A and B are shown apart, each in its own frame.
Chain A
Amino acid sequence: MKTRATFFRKTKDSLMRAFSGFATSMALVLMAWVIFTIVREGHSSISAELFLNASKPFGEVGGGIANALLGTVMITAGAAALALPPALAAGIWLAEFGKDSLLARAARFTVNVMMGVPSVIVGLFAYGVLVTTTGHFSGFAGSFSLAILMFPVVVRTTEDQFSGIGDALRESLLALGASRARSTLTVIWRAARSGVVTGVLLAVARVSGETAPLLFTALFADTWPTSYFSGPTPSAPVLITSYTMDSPFESMHRIGWSAALTMAVILLAVNITARYFGAKRAAKRK
């Protein structure tokens, strides 16, 4: 039988490869474009004062973003404190014990739905249950809304990490006479830990930049975040939004861009840290 000419197959192969290579490089170009723009717009007003002073009321020249950065740290840390314990426990339960049970399947479905809920709806919900009822905005209400966004992501990532551990390890633990709970909390947790840490860091980084929920809950303040539980609390994402969009003053635009640059650098650092943990884990597996 005559063989088919390979010319067309080879051509198709190179075209396909060229196209995928181009598509992949688009990701890099986009990232570079974003960073380039933020650096161009934001670098000029980076100064020590920016990181030491609280912001000033609308229209006043000067002022920093330190209060907003601190507020973001507080709100995000509060969200992590609220979301992580139940999310880790739920993820572990789903992977180790729930498996295919009815409750587990229902929970998994709910978590998937929760991941798709727009943050503006979560913000409105938090506004409804924590702001209108108490009569004041608060950083805590902001944490609550971010916790709701963080919860499903951490559940999923935890379940994935625990499910990724082969049954061989579980069986060898049980074969030694360890109980399910004990083996899960000692050895299985150790094996899953770095992957979970990576996922948690990424989830924290993700929600720390959320703006919509905070507009409904933490609002903003030109003061240091001293009333986390009882009053408006500044945050970087809200500062960026309001300084660049709502203000007619050029000096405020600059500060907004600088805050964006600062957030980008911090989040990049968190991401790299998270990847580092992930890479260490991958290296260990080999």
Chain B
Amino acid sequence: MQKKKYKIETKRLNFFYGDHQALFDNDLSIEANKITAVIGPSGCGKSTHLRVYNRIFELHRGQRAEGEVFIDGKDILDPGIDLLDLRRRVGMIFQKPTPFPMSVFDNVAYPIRLHFKASQKEIAERVENALRGAALWDEVKDKLRESGQALSGGQQQRLCIARAIAAEPEILLMDEPTSAIDPVGTLKIEELMDRLRERFTIVIVTHNMQQASRISDTTAFFYKGSIVEVGPTKLIFTNPRNKQTEDYVSGRFG
């Protein structure tokens, strides 16, 4: 078998909340420009695993990761890594939309002003591109000056996606991005993700198994902090090798 080139390679990742161990020897390889879904019952460590990729967990005292996580061959758990640059390259979308208390335009311009030396004109162009990229432009082009917090929940989440892609990342981490969004908004976001896979490597944590089977290329099943099974999504949902995976995807527990 030919050796694949992976965007993210996790090796023996262990994670601790203080004395409590939440992840056990996670090994996971994620292909570039694919959507990888991370599924599993509540509290199994899916989000915890995802939150290592941009080291966002470090905001909280007492949380620590051990092991290696290579992004483009570089171990991002290395203390010497440039965190601000890592986070520009690895964007993240959270469960609850978090528009900043400023206008739609300024929300999307925030990471541009943060990371790039751009003129006003360039900023405006990039904001428009990002909003188009997040399939939101047509809905907000007349209210760029209005507060981002005035948009609907689904629009707010796409605003957050626009903001994330405005930083020009290579990877998008999505932590249950549609669990707080209504079905119509969810559908729009799923369609959007299908387009985004051309430009980004996407890792999505989801509780919604239909969502995982609809949109992802690869699925990883987590249980109690360990990765039970990883494989092509079709295979995981139709013919899993592991009994636990089968029970979970067929809705027998979880």
Residues of A bordering B, CB below 8 Å:
99-100, 167-179, 182, 187, 190-191, 284
Chain B: minimal CB distance from A100 (Å): 7
Task: Pick from B80-88, B227-235, B244-252 the stretch touching chain A.
Answer: B80-88
Contact B84–A168 (Cβ < 8 Å): no
Residues of chain A lying within 8 A (CB to CB) of residue B110: 176, 178, 187
Cβ 8 A contact of A168, one of B86, B88, B91, B94: B94
Q: Is the CB of A168 within 8 A of B98?
A: yes
B61 & A177 in contact (Cβ 8 Å cutoff):
no
Contact of B114 among A168, A172, A177 (CB under 8 A): A177
When the two chains form their complex, are residues A171 and B102 in contact, meaning their CB atoms are under 8 A apart?
no
Report the bound CA distance from A178 to B11 in whole Å: 28
- Residues from chain A with a CB closer than 8 A to the CB of B64 are none
Q: Does B160 contact A (CB under 8 A)?
A: yes
- B100 at interface (Cβ–Cβ under 8 A)? yes
B100 and A169 contacting across the interface, CB-CB below 8 Å: yes
How many inter-chain residue pairs (CB < 8 Å) link A and B? 66
State the CA gap A284–B101 with chains docked (Å).
Answer: 9
Tell me the complex Cα distance, A177–B56, Å: 10
Q: A176-B87, A177-B84, A178-B111 are in contact. List 10 more A-B contacts (CB 8 A).
A: A171-B56, A172-B98, A174-B56, A175-B56, A175-B94, A176-B167, A177-B87, A177-B114, A178-B114, A284-B149
9 A-B pairs with least C-beta separation = A175-B92, A177-B88, A177-B87, A172-B98, A176-B111, A177-B84, A187-B100, A190-B101, A191-B101
B59: interface (CB < 8 Å): yes
- Taking the closest CB of chain A, its distance from the CB of B134, in whole angstroms, is 14
The residues in B between 108 and 127 inclusive whose CB is less than 8 angstroms from any CB of A are 110-111, 114-115
- Chain A residues with CB under 8 Å of B59's CB are 167, 170-171, 174
The listed residue (B60, B88, B96) touching A176 by CB distance below 8 A is: B88
In residues 159-187 of chain B, which contact A (Cβ within 8 Å)?
160, 163-164, 167
21 pairs, A vs B, C-beta closer than 8 Å: A168-B98, A171-B56, A171-B98, A172-B94, A172-B98, A172-B100, A173-B100, A174-B56, A175-B56, A175-B164, A176-B91, A176-B110, A176-B164, A177-B85, A177-B87, A177-B114, A178-B84, A178-B114, A190-B101, A191-B100, A191-B101
B213 CB within 8 Å of chain A: no
Q: In the bound complex, what is the Cα–Cα distance between A115 and B111 (angstroms)?
A: 41
Q: Which residues of A contact B87 (CB under 8 A)?
A: 174-177
Q: How far is the CA of A275 from the CA of B101 in the complex (A)?
A: 20
Q: CB of B54 within 8 A of chain A? A: yes
Q: Is the interface of A mostly helix, strand, loop or mixed?
A: helix
Given contacts A167-B59, A284-B149, contact A175 B91 (CB under 8 A): yes
Output the least CB separation between B65 and chain A (Å): 16
Chain B interface, DSSP helix/strand/loop, else mixed: helix
Query: Within the complex, what minimum Cβ distance (angstroms) separates A102 from chain B?
Result: 13
Q: How far is the CB of B86 from chain A (nearest CB, A)?
A: 8
Which interface residue of A99, A172, A175, A177 has the most chain B CB atoms within 10 A?
A175
Q: Which residue on chain A has the smallest CB distance to residue B91? A: A175
A170→B61 CA distance, assembly (Å)? 14
A171-B56, A177-B85, A177-B88 known; A190-B102 Cβ under 8 A: yes
B147 closest partner in A (C-beta): A284
- State A10–B15 Cα separation when bound (angstroms): 54
- Which residues of B sit under 8 angstroms from A191, Cβ to Cβ? 100-101
CA distance A99 to B87 in the complex (A): 24
By beta carbon, the residue of chain A nearest B51 is A171
* Closest beta carbon of chain B to A122's beta carbon, Å: 35
Partner of B61, one of A100, A168, A182, A190: A100
Q: Which residues of B contact A172 (CB under 8 A)?
A: 92, 94, 98, 100, 160
Residues of B within 8 A of A100 (CB): 61
B101 touches A177 (CB 8 A): no
Known contacts A175-B54, A176-B167; is A187 also within 8 Å of B102 by CB? yes
Which A residues lie within 8 Å of B56 (CB)? 171, 174-175
Interface centre among B85, B98, B167 (most CB of A within 10 A): B98
Q: Report how far A100 CA is from B110 CA in the complex, Å.
A: 30
What is the bound-complex CA distance between A176 and B106, given in angstroms? 14
- A residues less than 8 Å from B84 (CB atoms): 177-179
Contacts of A174 in B (CB 8 A): 56, 59, 87
Minimum C-beta distance from A282 to chain B (A): 13
CB distance from B229 to the nearest CB of A (A): 28
Cα distance A167–B110 in the bound complex, in angstroms: 18
Q: Can you list, as one digit per residue, whether each of B53-93 has a CB less than 8 Å from chain A (1) or not (0)? A: 01010011100000000000000000000001111100110
